[in-house]
Amino acid sequence: MIQEIRSIARSYFHEEMSGAHDWHHVQRVEATADRLMTDHPDADAHSIQLSALLHDIGRAKEDRGEIEDHADWGADESARILREHDATEETIAAVNHCIRAHRYSNDVTPETTEAKIVSDADNLDALGAVGIARCFTYGGERGLSIHDPTLPPEEDPSTAGTTQYNHLHKKILDLPHRMYTDAGRELADERSAFVQEFIARFEKEATGP
Protein backbone atom coordinates (compact mmCIF):
# COMPACT_ATOMS: atom_id res chain seq x y z
CA MET A 1 0.00 0.00 0.00
CA ILE A 2 2.79 2.47 0.86
CA GLN A 3 4.07 2.77 -2.69
CA GLU A 4 0.55 3.30 -4.03
CA ILE A 5 -0.12 6.01 -1.45
CA ARG A 6 3.26 7.59 -2.15
CA SER A 7 2.36 7.90 -5.82
CA ILE A 8 -1.08 9.33 -5.03
CA ALA A 9 0.32 11.81 -2.49
CA ARG A 10 2.97 12.91 -4.99
CA SER A 11 0.23 13.80 -7.49
CA TYR A 12 -0.97 16.62 -5.21
CA PHE A 13 2.37 18.41 -5.54
CA HIS A 14 2.94 20.34 -8.76
CA GLU A 15 6.07 22.02 -10.04
CA GLU A 16 4.61 25.49 -9.49
CA MET A 17 4.00 24.83 -5.80
CA SER A 18 5.75 26.78 -3.08
CA GLY A 19 9.30 25.63 -2.59
CA ALA A 20 8.66 25.83 1.14
CA HIS A 21 6.01 23.10 1.00
CA ASP A 22 6.96 21.00 -1.99
CA TRP A 23 7.42 17.25 -2.36
CA HIS A 24 10.99 17.50 -1.10
CA HIS A 25 9.58 18.78 2.20
CA VAL A 26 7.38 15.69 2.40
CA GLN A 27 10.38 13.44 1.77
CA ARG A 28 12.39 15.16 4.49
CA VAL A 29 9.51 14.82 6.96
CA GLU A 30 9.22 11.13 6.12
CA ALA A 31 12.96 10.60 6.67
CA THR A 32 12.98 12.55 9.94
CA ALA A 33 9.93 10.68 11.23
CA ASP A 34 11.72 7.43 10.46
CA ARG A 35 14.69 8.64 12.48
CA LEU A 36 12.49 9.62 15.44
CA MET A 37 10.79 6.23 15.40
CA THR A 38 14.00 4.48 16.45
CA ASP A 39 13.31 5.61 20.02
CA HIS A 40 9.71 4.39 19.85
CA PRO A 41 9.74 0.75 18.70
CA ASP A 42 6.12 0.28 19.78
CA ALA A 43 4.83 3.11 17.55
CA ASP A 44 2.81 2.19 14.47
CA ALA A 45 5.36 2.76 11.71
CA HIS A 46 2.76 2.15 9.00
CA SER A 47 0.48 4.95 10.23
CA ILE A 48 3.42 7.30 10.69
CA GLN A 49 4.70 6.77 7.18
CA LEU A 50 1.25 7.22 5.67
CA SER A 51 0.75 10.39 7.69
CA ALA A 52 4.10 11.82 6.62
CA LEU A 53 3.30 11.17 2.97
CA LEU A 54 -0.20 12.66 3.17
CA HIS A 55 0.15 15.45 5.73
CA ASP A 56 0.48 18.32 3.22
CA ILE A 57 -1.70 17.18 0.31
CA GLY A 58 -4.00 20.12 0.98
CA ARG A 59 -1.23 22.71 1.08
CA ALA A 60 -1.57 23.83 -2.54
CA LYS A 61 -5.30 24.38 -2.12
CA GLU A 62 -4.73 26.53 0.97
CA ASP A 63 -2.02 28.55 -0.77
CA ARG A 64 -4.47 29.21 -3.61
CA GLY A 65 -7.13 30.33 -1.16
CA GLU A 66 -9.47 27.44 -2.01
CA ILE A 67 -9.61 26.08 1.54
CA GLU A 68 -8.99 27.57 4.95
CA ASP A 69 -7.06 24.78 6.67
CA HIS A 70 -4.94 22.31 4.74
CA ALA A 71 -4.67 20.02 7.77
CA ASP A 72 -8.44 19.60 8.13
CA TRP A 73 -8.96 19.18 4.40
CA GLY A 74 -5.97 16.87 4.10
CA ALA A 75 -7.22 14.65 6.91
CA ASP A 76 -10.59 14.22 5.21
CA GLU A 77 -9.04 13.65 1.80
CA SER A 78 -6.57 11.16 3.24
CA ALA A 79 -9.41 9.20 4.82
CA ARG A 80 -11.08 8.96 1.44
CA ILE A 81 -7.86 7.81 -0.22
CA LEU A 82 -7.11 5.23 2.45
CA ARG A 83 -10.61 3.78 2.36
CA GLU A 84 -10.28 3.34 -1.38
CA HIS A 85 -7.16 1.29 -0.67
CA ASP A 86 -8.82 -0.87 1.98
CA ALA A 87 -7.02 0.58 4.99
CA THR A 88 -8.49 -0.40 8.32
CA GLU A 89 -10.61 2.12 10.19
CA GLU A 90 -8.02 2.02 12.96
CA THR A 91 -5.29 3.10 10.54
CA ILE A 92 -7.53 5.78 9.02
CA ALA A 93 -8.30 7.21 12.47
CA ALA A 94 -4.61 7.22 13.42
CA VAL A 95 -3.59 8.99 10.21
CA ASN A 96 -6.48 11.42 10.50
CA HIS A 97 -5.32 12.53 13.95
CA CYS A 98 -1.67 12.79 12.87
CA ILE A 99 -2.56 15.07 9.97
CA ARG A 100 -4.93 17.28 11.96
CA ALA A 101 -2.40 17.63 14.77
CA HIS A 102 0.69 18.38 12.69
CA ARG A 103 -0.16 22.00 11.98
CA TYR A 104 1.62 24.62 14.10
CA SER A 105 -1.20 27.16 14.07
CA ASN A 106 -4.21 25.06 14.99
CA ASP A 107 -5.44 23.94 18.40
CA VAL A 108 -5.15 20.18 17.91
CA THR A 109 -2.67 18.68 20.36
CA PRO A 110 -0.97 15.42 19.34
CA GLU A 111 -2.37 12.78 21.65
CA THR A 112 -0.68 9.66 20.29
CA THR A 113 2.96 8.69 19.93
CA GLU A 114 2.43 8.57 16.16
CA ALA A 115 1.03 12.11 16.05
CA LYS A 116 3.84 13.41 18.25
CA ILE A 117 6.45 11.92 15.92
CA VAL A 118 4.84 13.36 12.78
CA SER A 119 4.43 16.77 14.44
CA ASP A 120 8.06 16.81 15.57
CA ALA A 121 9.29 15.72 12.13
CA ASP A 122 7.31 18.46 10.41
CA ASN A 123 8.44 21.16 12.86
CA LEU A 124 12.07 20.07 12.63
CA ASP A 125 12.00 20.83 8.91
CA ALA A 126 11.31 24.47 9.84
CA LEU A 127 14.52 24.66 11.87
CA GLY A 128 18.19 24.70 10.91
CA ALA A 129 19.59 25.61 7.51
CA VAL A 130 16.64 24.12 5.63
CA GLY A 131 14.21 25.93 7.90
CA ILE A 132 15.89 29.28 7.25
CA ALA A 133 15.78 28.65 3.51
CA ARG A 134 12.11 27.71 3.68
CA CYS A 135 11.31 30.79 5.76
CA PHE A 136 12.72 33.26 3.26
CA THR A 137 11.43 31.28 0.29
CA TYR A 138 7.89 31.46 1.65
CA GLY A 139 8.19 35.16 2.41
CA GLY A 140 9.63 35.93 -1.01
CA GLU A 141 6.81 34.12 -2.76
CA ARG A 142 4.32 36.31 -0.93
CA GLY A 143 6.20 39.56 -1.33
CA LEU A 144 6.93 39.90 2.38
CA SER A 145 9.82 41.99 3.64
CA ILE A 146 13.02 40.34 4.72
CA HIS A 147 13.65 42.80 7.51
CA ASP A 148 12.40 46.17 8.77
CA PRO A 149 14.85 47.71 11.26
CA THR A 150 12.13 50.08 12.47
CA LEU A 151 10.01 47.11 13.60
CA PRO A 152 11.99 44.89 15.99
CA PRO A 153 10.43 41.53 16.90
CA GLU A 154 9.48 42.64 20.41
CA GLU A 155 7.40 45.53 18.98
CA ASP A 156 5.82 43.52 16.16
CA PRO A 157 2.12 43.01 17.03
CA SER A 158 1.61 40.17 14.58
CA THR A 159 1.55 36.57 15.72
CA ALA A 160 3.80 35.15 13.01
CA GLY A 161 5.96 38.20 12.33
CA THR A 162 5.45 41.01 9.83
CA THR A 163 8.87 40.35 8.30
CA GLN A 164 10.64 37.06 7.78
CA TYR A 165 13.37 38.13 10.20
CA ASN A 166 10.69 38.64 12.84
CA HIS A 167 9.13 35.31 11.86
CA LEU A 168 12.35 33.59 12.87
CA HIS A 169 11.97 35.08 16.34
CA LYS A 170 8.22 34.67 16.77
CA LYS A 171 7.69 31.20 15.36
CA ILE A 172 10.85 29.37 14.37
CA LEU A 173 12.75 29.83 17.63
CA ASP A 174 9.63 28.75 19.52
CA LEU A 175 9.63 25.33 17.86
CA PRO A 176 12.03 23.62 20.31
CA HIS A 177 9.44 24.24 23.02
CA ARG A 178 6.83 22.42 20.92
CA MET A 179 8.71 19.15 20.59
CA TYR A 180 7.05 16.04 22.01
CA THR A 181 9.81 13.44 21.74
CA ASP A 182 13.24 13.34 23.37
CA ALA A 183 14.94 12.80 20.02
CA GLY A 184 12.94 15.68 18.56
CA ARG A 185 14.03 18.00 21.35
CA GLU A 186 17.66 17.03 20.85
CA LEU A 187 17.55 17.72 17.13
CA ALA A 188 15.56 20.91 17.68
CA ASP A 189 18.13 22.30 20.11
CA GLU A 190 20.91 21.65 17.61
CA ARG A 191 19.06 23.23 14.72
CA SER A 192 17.83 26.13 16.83
CA ALA A 193 21.42 26.95 17.74
CA PHE A 194 22.20 27.28 14.04
CA VAL A 195 19.22 29.63 13.56
CA GLN A 196 20.48 31.76 16.44
CA GLU A 197 23.92 31.91 14.84
CA PHE A 198 22.31 33.02 11.59
CA ILE A 199 20.30 35.72 13.39
CA ALA A 200 23.41 37.06 15.09
CA ARG A 201 25.24 37.26 11.76
CA PHE A 202 22.17 38.81 10.09
CA GLU A 203 21.94 41.50 12.77
CA LYS A 204 25.64 42.28 12.42
CA GLU A 205 25.37 42.74 8.65
CA ALA A 206 22.04 44.59 8.79
CA THR A 207 23.43 47.28 11.06
CA GLY A 208 26.30 48.15 8.74
CA PRO A 209 29.74 46.97 7.61
Q: Domain map of the chain by residue range? A: 1-108, 126-209
Distance CA 107, CA 203 (A): 33
With CA atoms as reference, report the closest residue to 103 among 57, 142, 56.
Answer: 56
Average pLDDT on 170-195 reads 96
The mean pLDDT value of the chain amounts to 94
Contact predicate 134/20, CB 8 Å: yes
> Structure pTM?
0.94
pLDDT category of residue 80 using cuts at 50, 70 and 90: very high
Per-residue pLDDT tens for 29-55?
999 999 999 999 999 999 999 999 999
Residue 209's pLDDT band, with cuts at 50, 70 and 90, is: low
Q: Is the pLDDT of residue 111 over 90?
A: yes
SS (H, E, C) the chain: CHHHHHHHHHCCCCCCCCHHHCHHHHHHHHHHHHHHHHHCCCCCHHHHHHHHHHCCCCHHHHHCCCCCCHHHHHHHHHHHHHHHCCCCHHHHHHHHHHHHHCCCCCCCCCCCHHHHHHHHHHHHCCCHHHHHHHHHHHHHHCCCCCCCCCCCHHHCCCCCCCCHHHHHHHCHHHHHHHCCCHHHHHHHHHHHHHHHHHHHHHHHHHCCC
The least confident of 89-93, 126-130, 139-143, 192-196 is 139-143
> What distance in Å separates the CA atoms of residue 191 and residue 207, rounded to the nearest whole number?
25
Q: Which CATH class is domain 126-209?
A: mainly alpha
Q: Confidence class of residue 19 from pLDDT cuts 50, 70 and 90? A: confident
pLDDT in tens, 127-162: 999 999 999 998 988 888 999 999 999 999 998 899
* Mean pLDDT score, 94-110: 90
Query: Given this structure, which CATH class describes domain 1-108?
Result: mainly alpha
